């Protein structure tokens, strides 16, 4: 993208310019911080030129380095609280029992103390804690502000709870820290079903998957997360120990699937399932992207993956990698 022209003090007219970077050292609290400073240069005379917003950007980089060095919450993380809970700065200050302009100052760059930094990080991490403060102080904000924040938290509560074993398995996969979308989650759960048959000789969950156009899908799980579209599913409640709700052998299967296949995005996993007999057989020869809700039979899944396990040793990550490579997906 071509930069707009700016006024050069030496050329005394509007000129094109380029952005360069250089090493810079600043002393803060008796400690040197070296960072890459970006600056503008006149394309005609080579003199430095003032580029709007660039100084603020450099300060933000330095600020982030300082905060990381002292393990303090960043301005982006504070902004993340506002986005996560769909709340404005002043209402958030009231909800968290801070001064009316405290959050505004933090967003603008004011440095919080370690105490407030740790507190704000807990608010960012645990929506259950935010719920406590929201309910305790809802009288201090408008009904509209409360409704927006309440709706955001309620959605997180819905997405982080489970009533069935497959929902628990899904949350465990999401909790492992990989970038999981609704599309990739469907495929990972499909492989959990497949690998549990060859590793445990039984199902972790009994739900059937259907041969949809974009690969195997568990309809109930799809419905639960469909409001997120293609977005990454957040681990909304990091306090829940999903591992304690599953047996050691169940965790072994889930870990194997996420570590072997969670590194791939939903598109690659979809293409992989399209290459496999269970999905193809359930589709019955209809066009690749035609709609269908035909169940992929568990016996078909088991027979196919038992055969592939004998050839590739799918119980090992290296075997899964070889299987994927031979199918020509990547």
Domain-terminating residue out of 159, 189, 210 = 159
238 lies in a domain? Answer: yes
Q: Encode pLDDT of 125-169 as tens digits.
A: 899 999 999 999 999 999 999 999 999 999 999 999 999 999 999
pLDDT in tens, the chain (330 residues): 456 899 999 999 999 999 999 999 999 888 899 999 999 999 999 999 999 999 988 988 888 888 888 899 998 899 999 999 999 999 999 999 999 999 999 998 899 999 999 999 999 989 999 999 999 999 999 999 999 999 999 999 999 999 999 999 999 999 998 999 999 999 999 999 999 999 999 999 999 999 999 999 999 999 999 999 999 998 877 767 888 999 999 999 999 999 999 999 999 999 999 999 999 999 999 998 899 999 999 999 999 999 999 999 999 999 999 999 999 998
Q: Encode pLDDT of 21-31 as tens digits.
A: 999 999 988 88
Asked whether residue 181 falls in the same domain as residue 320, the answer is yes
Asked whether residue 49 falls in the same domain as residue 79, the answer is no
Which DSSP letter does residue 237 get? B
Asked whether residue 175 falls in the same domain as residue 131, the answer is no
Asked whether residue 172 falls in the same domain as residue 237, the answer is yes
Asked whether residue 34 falls in the same domain as residue 126, the answer is no
27 lies in a domain? Answer: yes
Asked whether residue 155 falls in the same domain as residue 196, the answer is no
Give the domain CATH number at 28: 3.10.20
96 lies in a domain? Answer: yes
1 lies in a domain? Answer: no
Asked whether residue 151 falls in the same domain as residue 280, the answer is no
Strand residue runs (E) in the chain: 6-8, 13-15, 17-28, 31-42, 48-49, 210-212, 215-217
C-alpha–C-alpha distance, residues 163 and 168, integer Å: 8
Asked whether residue 239 falls in the same domain as residue 97, the answer is no
C-alpha–C-alpha distance, residues 312 and 301, integer Å: 16
| Residue 14: domain span | 6-69
What predicted TM-score, i.e. pTM, was given to this entire model? Answer: 0.79
Measuring CA to CA, how many Å separate 78 from each of 6, 72, 93, 96, 121?
A: 33, 11, 12, 13, 8
Asked whether residue 191 falls in the same domain as residue 262, the answer is yes
Count of domains observed in the chain: 3
- Tell me, what's the pLDDT at 330? 83
- Say which residues have a Cβ less than 8 Å from residue 121's Cβ, sequence separation at least 6: 73, 77
Asked whether residue 92 falls in the same domain as residue 14, the answer is no
Domain-terminating residue out of 131, 159, 187 = 159
123 lies in a domain? Answer: yes
Asked whether residue 224 falls in the same domain as residue 255, the answer is yes
Measuring CA to CA, how many Å separate 211 from each of 29, 60, 217, 236, 300?
A: 61, 49, 7, 29, 13
Domain-terminating residue out of 111, 130, 159 = 159
Asked whether residue 52 falls in the same domain as residue 170, the answer is no
């Amino acid at each position: 993208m071509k930069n707009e022209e700016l006024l050069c003090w030496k050329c005394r007219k509007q000129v094109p310019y380029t952005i360069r970077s250089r090493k810079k050292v600043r002393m803060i609290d008796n400690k040197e911080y070296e960072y890459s400073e970006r600056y503008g240069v006149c394309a005609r005379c080579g003199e430095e030129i003032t580029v709007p917003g660039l100084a603020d950007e450099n300060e933000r980089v330095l600020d982030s380095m300082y905060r990381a060095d002292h393990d303090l919450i960043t301005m982006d993380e504070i902004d993340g609280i506002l986005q996560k809970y769909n709340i404005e700065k002043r209402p958030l200050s009231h909800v968290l029992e801070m001064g009316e302009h405290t959050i505004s100052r933090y967003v603008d760059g004011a440095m919080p103390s370690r105490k407030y930094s740790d507190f704000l990080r807990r608010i960012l991490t645990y929506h259950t804690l935010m719920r406590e403060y929201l309910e305790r102080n809802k009288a201090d904000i408008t009904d509209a502000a409360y409704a927006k924040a309440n709706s955001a938290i309620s959605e997180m509560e819905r997405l982080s709870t489970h009533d069935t074993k497959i929902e628990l398995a899904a949350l465990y996969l999401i909790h492992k820290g990989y970038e999981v979308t609704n599309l990739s989650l469907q495929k990972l759960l499909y492989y959990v079903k497949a690998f549990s048959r060859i590793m445990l000789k039984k199902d972790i969950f009994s739900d059937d998957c259907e041969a949809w156009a974009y690969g195997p899908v568990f309809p109930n799980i799809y419905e639960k997360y469909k409001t997120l579209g293609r977005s990454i599913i957040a681990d909304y409640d990091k306090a829940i120990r999903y591992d304690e709700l599953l047996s050691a052998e169940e965790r072994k299967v889930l870990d194997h699937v996420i570590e072997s296949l969670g590194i791939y995005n939903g598109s690659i996993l979809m293409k992989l399932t399209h290459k496999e007999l269970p999905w193809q057989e359930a589709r019955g020869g209809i066009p690749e992207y035609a709609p269908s809700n035909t169940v992929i039979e568990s016996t078909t899944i088991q027979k196919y993956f038992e055969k592939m396990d004998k050839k590739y040793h799918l119980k090992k990550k290296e075997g899964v990698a070889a299987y994927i490579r031979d199918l020509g997906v990547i």
